[in-house]
Amino acid sequence: MAVEYACCTSEFFVHILVIVLLVLFAGLMSGLTLGLMSLSLVDLEVLAKSGTPQDRSHAAKILPVVKNQHLLLCTLLICNAAAMETLPIFLDGLVTAWGAILISVTLILLFGEIIPQSVCSRYGLAIGASVAPFVRVLVCVCFPVAFPISKLLDFLLGHRHEALFRRAELKTLVNLHGNEAGKGGELTHDETTIIAGALELSEKTASDAMTPIADTFAVDINSKLDRELMNEILEKGHSRVPVFYEQSTNIIGLILVKNLLTVHPEDDASVKSVTIRRIPRVPESMPLYDILNEFQKGHSHMAVVVRRCDKMEEQSSQNNADGKITL
């Protein structure tokens, strides 16, 4: 049978103090369960390396605590359960049994669950960093019970490996930043466009990024570099101009416009008299990443997309006899 303490006695105030501490402790454990367990290791590592100075400090304090997440989860739940189970015992000494149940449920629901979890969900990083030393002490205290349970969870569920963002998720994240570009976002529209384009390189092939031959400007190898052709080349504004032999689809190389500076229209020179650089041929299914790697070698910044590369190269080598080809 429960012993009831008279009001305003020392035992009464001790019970009130213990009840308040138990509610605060249960609320802290409940809030930390939501706040710390919702912080992914990837997010914390990003904040620790590239966040604001305050975020870097907070993330550095929290990372060692959340490394073993099953052990941390077991510790917080054990402490929370112990506080909630102890609370009715002290309330029973102050009020009737039904009153103890009603008050304990109200206190735990309001001050032990709703308010702490609301606060920690918003300020979990700062609160977690502040109580990190205290949490480490709790882990050590609960270790004999929490460690076997955490190992069992590791065995049954596996370790919680933090997966990085998949490509589609990154593209969606970048697009969201792009939508906020005009509303004061961190990234501008141009930056998000560049990032999204880089993420699509591995998915796109040469056929997706090529310019149709009908839309390109090219010159015949036998054309005369007269004033009309020179003006047309300058008006196009390209630094490189493809060169074809007889048919516009038979691209055999390219010329650099800067090499035409020494050519005078009155000299009646032809395109073949200018150094013609070899232009690589790539299959239409070649990924853009591979093409970019080829361009980075410095041999060319332009390529011809073909369906049958070998056959086209053979035909090109036969037609190049009249031109001066260099790498």
Q: Could you report the per-residue pLDDT of 155-192, keeping only the tens digit for each?
A: 888 766 555 667 777 777 777 777 766 565 667 777 88
pLDDT at 163 (0 to 100): 56
pLDDT at 296 (0 to 100): 82
* Segment 126-131 long-range contacts (CB within 8 Å, at least 24 positions apart): 126/58, 127/31, 127/32, 127/35, 128/32, 128/35, 128/36, 128/39, 128/58, 128/61, 128/62, 128/65, 129/57, 129/58, 129/59, 129/61, 129/62, 131/28, 131/32
pLDDT at 55 (0 to 100): 86
pLDDT at 269 (0 to 100): 85
Amino acid at 157: L
pLDDT at 157 (0 to 100): 80
d(CA 312, CA 306): 7
pLDDT at 137 (0 to 100): 93
Residue 304 has phi, psi (to 5 degrees) of: -100, 125
Residue 179: CA count within 13 A, CB half-sphere: 6
The pLDDT mean for the chain works out to 80
Give me the CATH code for the 206-326 domain, please: 3.10.580.10
- Cα 105 to Cα 19, 85, 111, 243, 317: the distances in Å are 13, 11, 10, 84, 87
First CA to last CA distance, the chain: 99
Confidence of residue 290 (pLDDT cuts 50, 70, 90): confident
**Average pLDDT over every residue of 4-13:** 64
Amino acid at 105: V
Q: Is the pLDDT of residue 325 over 50?
A: no
Q: Is the pLDDT of residue 102 over 50?
A: yes
Tokens 């109200």 map to which residue? 106
pLDDT at 101 (0 to 100): 73
The secondary structure element, H or E, covering residue 283 is strand 281-283
Q: Is the pLDDT of residue 265 over 70?
A: yes
Confidence of residue 40 (pLDDT cuts 50, 70, 90): confident
Share of the chain above pLDDT 90, in %: 12
Confidence of residue 327 (pLDDT cuts 50, 70, 90): very low
Q: Is the pLDDT of residue 322 over 90?
A: no
Contact assessment for residue 97 and residue 73, using Cβ atoms and an 8 Å cutoff = no
**Average pLDDT over every residue of 120-127:** 86
d(CA 94, CA 15): 8
For CATH 3.10.580.10, the residue range(s) in the chain are 206-326
Q: Is the pLDDT of residue 47 over 50?
A: yes
**Average pLDDT over every residue of 204-233:** 88
d(CA 307, CA 3): 92
